[in-house]
Amino acid sequence: MKATVLHRGQLRVEEVPDPVPGPGQVLVEVAHCGICGSDLHARHHGDATAELARAVGYDDFLRSEQHVVLGHEFSGRVLGYGPRTRRTWKEGQPLVALPILQVDGAPQLTGLAAPAPGGYAERVLVQEAFALPVPDDVPLDVAALTEPMAVALHAVRRGGVGRTDTAVVIGCGPIGLAVIAMLKASGRRTVVASDLSPRRRELALACGADVVVDPGVESPWEQPAATRGSIALPDLLTLGLSTTDRLRRVPLLPWWEVFKVANRLGATPGGPVVFECVGVPGIIDQIVMSAPARSRVVVVGVCMEADSFQPAMAINKELDLRFAFGYDPGEFAETLRLIADGRVDPRLLITGGVGLAGVDAAFAALGDPETHAKILVDPTLGGDEVVPA
Amino acid sequence: MKATVLHRGQLRVEEVPDPVPGPGQVLVEVAHCGICGSDLHARHHGDATAELARAVGYDDFLRSEQHVVLGHEFSGRVLGYGPRTRRTWKEGQPLVALPILQVDGAPQLTGLAAPAPGGYAERVLVQEAFALPVPDDVPLDVAALTEPMAVALHAVRRGGVGRTDTAVVIGCGPIGLAVIAMLKASGRRTVVASDLSPRRRELALACGADVVVDPGVESPWEQPAATRGSIALPDLLTLGLSTTDRLRRVPLLPWWEVFKVANRLGATPGGPVVFECVGVPGIIDQIVMSAPARSRVVVVGVCMEADSFQPAMAINKELDLRFAFGYDPGEFAETLRLIADGRVDPRLLITGGVGLAGVDAAFAALGDPETHAKILVDPTLGGDEVVPA
């Protein structure tokens, strides 16, 4: 079959061996496969990522000298089954799957490891136990976004965002946009989104952000009153105090009043929940220095280099840095349900499609935030250019 | 009155003006005042700390060119009252107080800011509303440790440590020891403590640690089975899974299995709760690189320099870094109750006493972990040497 193969940073369409489903596996015809920030990372930082993965016990993350088929955000249709399967679905059944494949008894990351080729290909293998049928009314391009939307759902859960918390999303790339959509889908009241790009801010509003901020011009920390909704500061304050008052036996003068941040969000004991969706060196320190006291910062953006920050400032403000990675199978399944029920609409994120021969051009196009957010690889498309959605 | 005054890094006993209680304030005769790591920091890093404090809205943190009386962990007896007080207690009543003083309407950090001189002195001012009477059967040297023990209680709460979680305490200085004592006081089952110093490990055992580890020789991450208690791995595993199973609708193969850490603690979805009580550059990165997946890391040690770490590793492991600072008034009051009820015994931490003239010698002595943990200043003591407890 044809597949787009990564080798030493180069992406080329090659003829590769047809995948043969092993025990418990399903052969799937790829309909759509999203290009993920992790794929862009893997192209240039694969060896560094592999070292980090090895340090936590996973030895097979892709390396630059290998030939690897990327792609872990895919949808497709059942073509056939391997041995020891329940053959749960008919041929042609649309499905999505967790990008995890059991190979020789060990779990492998589909599309990020040589033993489990990914979805930039005509066909891909999935584990029957990790696949989910796509409901009839969900188009397969939208279904392909189950995976990145699940990352966002997991990040929102990692943040423990309450319905009345203010959420601040820093960076409106595909994951930032997915986080915004998931926050609003789960009924969170005020979402402030920040991005340097006007196009990305426009997409953020489309995904449900209440306020968008150009961080080159204004501060994301001073926006909560200017919302489309009805939230006002006294409300936040009252809610914050009521949750902590039961701990108090002596009059109220907490430390965070002493070190109170000179802005309105900082006056709440709870602080906002911040989603770091940029992933470049220095952004964590910027957030530590500028975020209000008591912020919970969910780090979703993957920074592949060593990064520096001021721990003393994080202590002064009692920040949480909660690092988020992936999702669990329940979150993946819940994401598909949220999409099927129309509670989130990932179509807003899709800005283009491309054939296998255009993956290299698509990687380049994704460097410009004014043009693209999520590009889907469609193996049936010809040509090597990105087609706008 | 006499007080030990810090000026340009020098500590000298000087005759200073007698404090006069203002509105809502109580004049207190100092019985004991603990020397805190923050005091050691303030001596040499005061200006840097002042800059960080200013950045979060507190302008009066001490600076090296000022003359400041340190000391914020004190106990004492009521000498008199200022205007607009309720005169709640008789003269001579033993008490402790939050080290926060209202000066000209603004809260000030007692013992860390020039407007609110601290407890390295014959007398100190406290706010009547922030003072608590010390029960008769609690000696005043022990009561002086209410403040650092409250820091530990707050850190334990920040960690959200469940009774069945394994806690790993990195660094057994006074705060590390206090964290160990508070963990055991609140019924936490397995506490692993790590310190390079044999004396500190001995103190850690005395404070209730189940296992102590010399990190130069062995790993703190591989000790949970060798406990004095009865916890074993299947127990941890079962507990971990039961809390997440309700989220699952498809068979279990979570990401943390893929990136499983090659040790036993790492096999639990919950990971241990780690208390970073060292506060030197590099320790956060060491923990990020070596801690099991899903660890919650409570950062209690104050590192005053910029620090560097690998965010990608923190993401791979889904770590939490929860920065902890101080306590709230309810936690301070609860700490005094825990001491009065005999549920924690801070006396274990007290290794020496010293008069006002010996503060400089005591600061030097605290540099050697083999000799001292907590030294209490007692203004009635003569001489300039530290007296072992």
Structure tokens at B365: 């002595």
DSSP A366: T
pLDDT value at A346 more than 80: yes
- How far apart are alpha carbons B195 and B213 in whole angstroms? 7
Q: How far is B105 from chain A (nearest CA, A)?
A: 12
Whether A137 and A153 share a structural domain: no
A160 or A106, greater pLDDT:
A160
CA distance A301 to A179: 12
Which has more confidence, B232 or B41? B41
Q: In the block, which residue shows the tokens 């399903």?
A: A26
Query: Does residue A7 carry a pLDDT above 60?
Result: yes
User: Distance between CA A235 and CA A227 in Å, rounded?
Assistant: 14
Task: Count the neighbouring beta carbons within 10 Å of the beta carbon of residue A186.
Answer: 15
Q: What is the mean pLDDT of residues B263-286?
A: 72
List, for residues A12-42, the tens digit of each pLDDT value: 999 999 999 999 999 999 999 999 998 998 9
In a domain, B13, yes or no: yes
Residue A248 lies in a domain: no
Check whether B216 has a pLDDT greater than 80. Answer: no
The predicted pLDDT at position B326 comes to 85
Least confident of A227-241, A338-352, B183-197: A227-241
SS3 string of chain B?
CEEEEEECCEEEEEECCCCCCCCCEEEEEEEEEECCHHHHHHHHHHHHHHHHHHHCCCCCECCCCCCEECCCEEEEEEEEECCCCCCCCCCCCEEEECCEEEECCEEEECCCECCECCCCECEEEEEHHHEEECCCCCCHHHHCCHHHHHHHHHHHHHCCCCCCCEEEEECCCHHHHHHHHHHHHCCCCEEEEECCCHHHHHHHHHCCCCEEECCCCCCHHHCCCCCCCCCCHHHHHHHHHHHHHCCCCCCCCCHHHHCCCCCCHHHCCCCCEEEECCCCCCHHHHHHHHCCCCCEEEECCCCCCCEEECHHHHHHCCCEEEECCCCCHHHHHHHHHHHHCCCCCHHHHEEEEECHHHHHHHHHHCCCCCCCCEEEECCCCCCCCCEEC
Residues A132 and A75 occupy one common structural domain: yes
Residue B3 has pLDDT above 90, yes or no: yes
Q: Is the pLDDT of residue A232 over 60?
A: no
Q: Above 80 in pLDDT, residue B104? A: yes
Of B190, B191, B166, B165, which Cα lies nearest the Cα of B180?
A: B191
Domain-embedded: residue B257: no
Instruction: Calculate helix-pair angle for A146-158, A329-340, nearest 10 degrees.
Output: 110
The tens digit of pLDDT for each residue in A278-316 reads 988 888 988 888 887 788 999 998 877 889 998 988 988
Rounded to whole angstroms, the maximal C-alpha distance in chain A is 73
Spatial distance between the Cα atoms of B314 and A148, rounded to a whole number of angstroms: 20
Residue B219 pLDDT > 80: no
Q: What is the DSSP letter of A122?
A: S
Please say whether the beta carbons of A3 and A356 come within 8 A. yes
Mutate to test the interface with B, among A112, A295, A307, A327 (most CBs of B within 10 A): A307
Give the pLDDT score at A39.
93
pLDDT confidence of residue B86:
92
Which residue from B323, B248, B233 is spatially nearest to A315, judged by alpha carbons? B323
Give yes or no: residues B136 and B160 share one domain.
Answer: no
Mean pLDDT value across chain B: 84
Residue B356 vs residues A295, B110, B146, B385: alpha-carbon distances, Å: 40, 17, 21, 10
Contact A312 B299 (CB under 8 A): no
Same domain? B15 vs B59: yes
Residues in A closer than 8 angstroms to B132, CB to CB, are: 250
Q: Are B51 and A316 in contact (CB under 8 A)?
A: no
Percent of residues, chain B, with pLDDT higher than 90: 59
Tell me the average pLDDT across B112-134: 95
Residues B75-100 pLDDT 10s: 999 999 999 999 989 999 999 999 98
The stretch B53-74 carries a mean pLDDT of: 90
Token pair, residue B337, equals 């109750």
Q: Are residue A202 and residue A293 in the same domain, yes or no?
A: yes
H-helix or E-strand spanning residue A125: strand A123-127
Report helix, strand or coil for A49: helix
CA–chain centroid gap for B42, Å, is 15
* Most A-contacting residue of B283, B325, B335 (CB-CB within 10 A), to test interface: B325
Which of B56, B285, B289 comes nearest A316 by C-beta?
B56
Measured at the CA of A161, the angle between CA A157 and CA A166, to 5 degrees, comes to 145
Residue B253 reports pLDDT greater than 60: no
Which of A48-57, A320-329, A355-364, B228-237 shows the lowest mean pLDDT across its residues? Answer: B228-237
- Residue B3's DSSP bridge partners are B14, B121
B28 belongs to a structural domain: yes
Mark whether A180 and A289 lie in a shared domain: yes
For residue A198, what are the CA distances in angstroms to A21, A201, A369?
Answer: 45, 5, 9
Alpha carbons within 13 A on the beta-carbon side of B208? 22
| pLDDT level of residue A78 (50, 70, 90 thresholds) | very high
Tell me: pLDDT of B60 over 70: yes
Q: How far apart are alpha carbons A361 and A162 in whole angstroms?
A: 41
In terms of domains, do B155 and B183 share one? Answer: yes
CA distance to partner chain A, nearest, from residue B133 (Å): 12
Q: Name the least confident of A123-127, B57-61, B165-169.
A: B57-61
Å between A317 CA and nearest CA of chain B: 8
A268 pLDDT higher than 80:
no
Q: What is the pLDDT of residue A317?
A: 83
Q: Do A184 and A289 reside in the same domain of the chain?
A: yes
Rounded-to-integer distance, Cα A329 and Cα B253, Å: 7
pLDDT in tens, B14-38: 999 999 999 999 999 999 999 999 8
d(CA B329, CA A254) in angstroms, rounded, equals 7
What are A259's strand-pairing partners?
A: none
CA gap B256, B58 in Å, rounded: 42
pLDDT at A223 (0 to 100): 52
CB contact under 8 A, A308 and B306: yes
The answer to whether the CB of A386 falls within 8 A of the CB of A361 is yes
Instruction: Work out whether the CA dihedral B62, B67, B73, B79 comes out positive or negative.
Output: negative
In-domain check, residue A243: no
* Closest CA in chain A for residue B258: A107
Domain span at residue B207 reads: 148-231+269-323
Q: Are residues A44 and A94 in the same domain?
A: yes
Given the cut 0.85, state whether the ipTM is greater than it: no
A133 and A161, same domain (yes or no): no
- Check pLDDT > 50 for residue B191: yes
A388 pLDDT more than 50:
yes
B223 pLDDT band, cuts 50/70/90, is low
Q: Is B259 a member of any domain? A: no
Across the interface, whether the CB atoms of B325 and A308 are under 8 A apart is answered no
Q: For residue A110, is pLDDT > 70?
A: yes
**Around Cβ A122, how many Cβ atoms within 10 Å?**
18
Which residues of chain B make contact with A52, given a CB cutoff of 8 A? 310, 312-313, 316
Residue A238 reports pLDDT greater than 60: no
Domain count along chain B: 2
Say if A298 falls within a structural domain. yes
d(CA B199, CA B222): 22
Query: Of the residues A32, A38, A64, A75, which is catalytic?
Result: A38
* Residue B216 identity (one-letter amino acid): G
The more confident residue out of A56 and B190 is B190
A328–B98: do the CB atoms touch at under 8 Å?
no
pLDDT at residue A188 tops 80 = no
- Paired sense of beta strands B350-354 and B387-388, if any: antiparallel
Neighbours of B231 (CB within 10 A): 17
**B12 assigned to some structural domain:** yes
Any idea which residues of B carry the catalytic annotation?
38, 41
Q: Are residues A27 and A103 in the same domain?
A: yes
Residue B241 pLDDT > 50: no
Q: Say how far apart CA B14 and CA B70 lie, in whole Å.
A: 13
pLDDT in tens, B276-287: 999 888 889 888
pLDDT of residue A225: 38
Query: What's the CATH number where B35 sits?
Result: 3.90.180.10
Confidence (pLDDT) at B242: 28
Residue B56's identity, in one-letter code, is: V
The pair of three-digit structure tokens given for residue A307, joined into one six-digit string: 């990064």
**Mutate which: B45, B261, B283, B321, vs A, most A CBs within 10 A:** B321
Buried b (16+ CB within 10 A) or exposed e, A338-360: bbbeeebbbebbbbbbbbbbbbb
Give the full edge-to-edge strand order of the sheet including B2-7. Answer: B10-15, B2-7, B68-69
State the Cα torsion B180-B185-B187-B193 to the nearest 10°. Answer: 10
A96: amino acid identity, one letter: V
Same domain, B309 and B355: no
